[in-house]
Amino acid sequence: MTNPAADDTDTNWRRSRREIEADIFQAGLAAGLGESRNLPLDTHLHTILSPDTEPDALLDAYCAVAIERGIAELAITDHVDFDPLDQAYSFSTFEERERSVREAAERWAPHGLAVRFGAEITYQRAYEDDIRDWLRKHPHDFVIGSVHSGPTSLFEPDRVAAYVAGKSLADATAPYFEEVTASARSGLFDSIGHMDVVKRWLVPHFMPADFAAEPELYEPVLRAMVESGTAVEINASGLRQLPRETYPNAAVVARYLEMGGRAVTIGSDAHRMGWFAYGLAEAYRLAQGAGIEALTFRRGGDRVWVPLAPGRSQT
């Protein structure tokens, strides 16, 4: 029998991925993943100034819910792309993004909510010098570097099956992990976003259990993060996507700490209102379970540490 996914037409697989993930999201809601409350920080959020959001991804709506739920501080990290083929290239300007966030910060500060100006930059080695120059001229409070699957990527739904055919997991993931390793080594970013989102792109050809069975695949990227001091982001979006686990999972976070890594952030990576803080409490539980006491963050100056448990003083 042939693998059912392999003879799906590509369009079908793209659509079915969306449908499957909608079901995963609903199941997570039923299991309480939508109920994150009383948490100090969400470091990864997109608004309508990112091209891949829904119209209800409004900054003020996030802020109102954050207050209602007791989430004390948000970093707004809309997409910044350097490759003209990528969706966010010239979608919104630095000035628009900064104005939107700084004005919201002023509006919401009296209500006890801190809103920080961040960005999620798509890292590609080919654009590293451009990103460095641009970041020098365009300061943010907090900057995430992420490797994404652009229109020409091998991991796009319409070509991934052909790409993985006959490849080992190590071979299939090598181009992705090499790029993530370079993003950490660049030293440009406070954290690396969803460091193993390739887990999502490779379903159903390789499953999260296949990744778990080959922890050595993560060693070079974790070493780069430890040596550069770049934070690992525990990204909760994987809980509503095909992997059904955070990017990365608890075992990878544990290995990072064992290797001497100390810097960890947590973000929900919402692109619509319903995804705001989704799975965030679960990501905090993971961090707590790993023995992490404070998250790494930046508010424009030096790195700061934000205690996991709310109400403690921040240093």
Instruction: Select the residue interacting with Zn ion from 86, 120, 196, 282 (CB under 5 A).
Output: 120
Nearer to Zn ion by Cβ, of 120 and 190: the residue is 120
- Separation of alpha carbons 95 and 103, rounded Å: 12
The window from 21-29, 113-121, 183-191, 286-294 that contacts Zn ion (CB under 5 A) reads 113-121
Indicate whether 241 belongs to the interface with Zn ion (CB under 5 A). Answer: no
Binding mask 190-229 toward Zn ion (x if CB under 5 A, else -) reads ---x------------------------------------
Cα–Cα distances in Å, from 180 out to 22, 157, 195, 207, 223?
28, 20, 7, 20, 11
Q: Strands of 114-122's sheet, edge to edge?
A: 42-45, 73-80, 114-122, 142-146, 191-192, 231-235, 264-267
Instruction: Select the residue interacting with Zn ion from 100, 146, 241, 268 (CB under 5 A).
Output: 146
Indicate whether 269 belongs to the interface with Zn ion (CB under 5 A). Answer: yes
Nearer to Zn ion by Cβ, of 218 and 247: the residue is 247
Cβ atoms of residues 260 and 45 within 8 Å: no
The window from 31-39, 118-126, 150-158, 206-214 that contacts Zn ion (CB under 5 A) reads 118-126
The window from 100-108, 143-151, 251-259, 304-312 that contacts Zn ion (CB under 5 A) reads 143-151
- Separation of alpha carbons 174 and 311, rounded Å: 42
The window from 6-14, 180-188, 267-275, 293-301 that contacts Zn ion (CB under 5 A) reads 267-275
Using CB positions, name the residue nearest to Zn ion.
146
Binding mask 19-58 toward Zn ion (x if CB under 5 A, else -) reads ----------------------------------------
Backbone conformation region of residue 27, classed left if phi is above 0, alpha if psi is from -120 to 50, else beta: alpha
Binding mask 168-197 toward Zn ion (x if CB under 5 A, else -) reads -------------------------x----
- Separation of alpha carbons 106 and 117, rounded Å: 12
Nearer to Zn ion by Cβ, of 119 and 290: the residue is 119
**How wide is the angle at C-alpha 39 spanned by C-alphas 73 and 194, nearest 5°?**
75
267, β-bridge pairs: 235
Return the structure tokens found at 88: 């966010």
Nearer to Zn ion by Cβ, of 47 and 146: the residue is 146
Sign of the C-alpha dihedral computed for residues 215, 216, 220 and 223 taken in this order: positive
Indicate whether 78 belongs to the interface with Zn ion (CB under 5 A). Answer: no
- In whole angstroms, the minimum distance from the beta carbon of 194 to Zn ion comes to 6
Nearest one of 39, 93, 69 to 266, comparing CA atoms = 39
Cα–Cα distances in Å, from 27 out to 20, 21, 280?
11, 10, 16
Return the structure tokens found at 126: 């080919």
Return the structure tokens found at 93: 């300007």
- In whole angstroms, the minimum distance from the beta carbon of 283 to Zn ion comes to 14
- In whole angstroms, the minimum distance from the beta carbon of 270 to Zn ion comes to 9
Nearer to Zn ion by Cβ, of 14 and 111: the residue is 14
The window from 61-69, 95-103, 139-147, 246-254 that contacts Zn ion (CB under 5 A) reads 139-147
Cβ atoms of residues 192 and 263 within 8 Å: no
Cβ atoms of residues 114 and 138 within 8 Å: no
Nearer to Zn ion by Cβ, of 157 and 193: the residue is 193
> What residues make contact with Zn ion under the rule CB under 5 A?
120, 146, 193, 269
